[in-house]
Amino acid sequence: MTGRFRVAGVQYDMRPVASFEAFAAQCAHHVAAAAEWSAEACLFPEFLTTQLLSIPRADGRPADIGDLDTHTEAYRALFSDLAARHRMTIVAGTHVHRRDGALRNAAHVFLPDGRLETQEKLHLTPTEVAPWGIAPGEALRILDLPFARAAVLICYDVEFPELARQARARGADILFVPSCTDDRQGFHRVRHCCHARAIEDQVFVATTHTVGNLPVEWMRANVGNAAAITPCDVHFPPGGIQAQGEMNLEQIVVAEFDLGSLHRARAAGSVRTWQDRRGDLYPLAE
């Protein structure tokens, strides 16, 4: 693939909602806005559906992370319909659900032809391990999307260069990085690693974060923005930022990536960080 494609990153406001319908309306608004900008893909942040934990329970008990699985069917139906209606690929953040008896934090990628692809988070933060009791995924998937080959590295996953190297070795041209961070240090860890992965592997990176405040344990503060990140070479902006949003505001960031420029940079850029790897000194990703 050598064409251009547009990606919309949603800086999603984690405000309380009274019902699943309110959550659906907020999501549908952002997808419709992305469609108005002719985006081929729309990226939502990690832990998108934790917003549903703010819905008051009939028994008065505070909702916990395991309750999200009760919304799995409705969540999948919502984004499947939005992807088909707008003829768009939607990386619908992540949703915590049960698989094989264990909770999993999984990105859901809805394609306009009705396909659903999932990528479970492979590296878990301390909060995900305890108190939430989430289990890690077992494999990295490469996704054949209508506009490019891609991989989804969920937040902490992008902090492990071996994983992105594996994605590039298997043909990925873009990494989607849905994230959720509760302080500026966490935000910058993810952002700096996104830049490093783009430079090391000569790939595009699309990332976005949750913003706002949610009265749910471990989700009370959200810090970040969305960005479209490129390698740092003459074919791209000097700082490797195609576009980015304002910090901590609900908005959509739209950017256009050019696969032709990416392939030219790989073949004849100022540096060739992929071809110049030293397999005689360290193992190469395959």
Question: What's the total number of domains in the chain?
Answer: 1
Q: Is residue 204 part of a domain?
A: yes
136 lies in some domain: yes
- pLDDT tens digits along 110-145: 999 999 999 999 999 999 999 999 999 999 999 999
What is the reported pLDDT for 226?
Answer: 98
Instruction: Note whether residue 285 is domain-resident.
Output: no
What is the rounded average pLDDT of the residues 251-277?
97
Q: What is the pLDDT of residue 142?
A: 98
pLDDT band for 66, please (50, 70, 90 cuts).
very high
List pLDDT tens digits, range 144-163: 999 999 999 999 999 999 99
In a domain, 283, yes or no: no
Instruction: Tell me whether residue 280 is in a domain.
Output: no
Residue 94, classed as helix, strand or coil, is: strand
Give the confidence band of 63 by pLDDT, cuts at 50, 70, 90. Answer: confident
Range of the domain at 61: 4-268
Residue 284 lies in a domain: no
3-state helix, strand, coil in the chain (%, to 5): 30, 25, 40
- pLDDT score of 273 more than 70: yes
- Which pLDDT does position 57 carry in this prediction? 83
pLDDT interval class at 265 (50, 70, 90): very high
Q: Mean per-residue pLDDT for 224-235?
A: 97
**DSSP character string of 164-182:** HHHHHHTT-SEEEEEE--S
At 26, the pLDDT band (50, 70, 90 cuts) reads very high
**Which pLDDT belongs to residue 62?**
82
Angle at alpha carbon of residue 203, lines to 199 and 207, rounded to 5°: 95
Q: How confident is the model at residue 60 (pLDDT cuts 50, 70, 90)?
A: confident
Please provide the average confidence, as pLDDT, over all residues in the chain: 97
| pLDDT grade for 1, boundaries at 50, 70 and 90 | low
Q: Let me know if residue 21 belongs to a domain.
A: yes
So which residues are the catalytic ones?
Answer: 46, 121, 155
Query: Is residue 275 assigned to a domain?
Result: no
- Residue 105's SS3 state is strand
Mean pLDDT of 34-51: 98
Other beta carbons within 10 Å of 186: 18
**Which tokens go with 43?**
């990226």
pTM higher than the cut 0.95: yes
> Residue 78 carries which side chain, given as an amino acid letter?
L
The domain that contains 183 carries what CATH number? 3.60.110.10
Q: With beta carbons less than 8 A apart as the criterion, state whether 1 and 259 touch.
A: yes
